[in-house]
């Protein structure tokens, strides 16, 4: 089996060439709760906004923070 980079780490934001793993890392490791938080940390979402639904979906998958409800 070979690792398929395109399949496992596809582009999320075509305007700024931002890939899935970069956005996932930002969402998981940083205090990120909105698209605007993502936009402030990388350029994803700062262009045509067509990636916003996908960014919202990725945000919805963020694990709850310890002590949060």
Helix (H) or strand (E) holding 29: helix 20-29
Select from 9, 15, 22, 42 the one that contacts ligand FES (CB under 6 A). Answer: 15
Q: Which stretch binds ligand FES (CB under 6 A): 1-9, 21-29, 39-47, 57-65?
A: 39-47
Which is nearer to ligand FES, 28 or 48 (by Cβ)? 48
Which is nearer to ligand FES, 49 or 69 (by Cβ)? 49
CB-count exposure of residue 41 (10 Å: 0-12, 13-18, 19+) = middle
**55 token code pair:** 């960014």
């Amino acid at each position: 089996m070979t690792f398929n980079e395109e399949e496992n780490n596809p582009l999320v934001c075509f305007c700024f060439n931002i890939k899935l793993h970069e956005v996932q890392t930002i969402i998981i490791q940083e205090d990120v709760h909105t698209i605007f938080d993502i936009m402030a940390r990388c350029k994803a979402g700062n262009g045509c906004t067509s990636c916003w639904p996908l960014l919202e979906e990725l945000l919805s998958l963020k694990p709850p923070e310890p002590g949060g409800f």
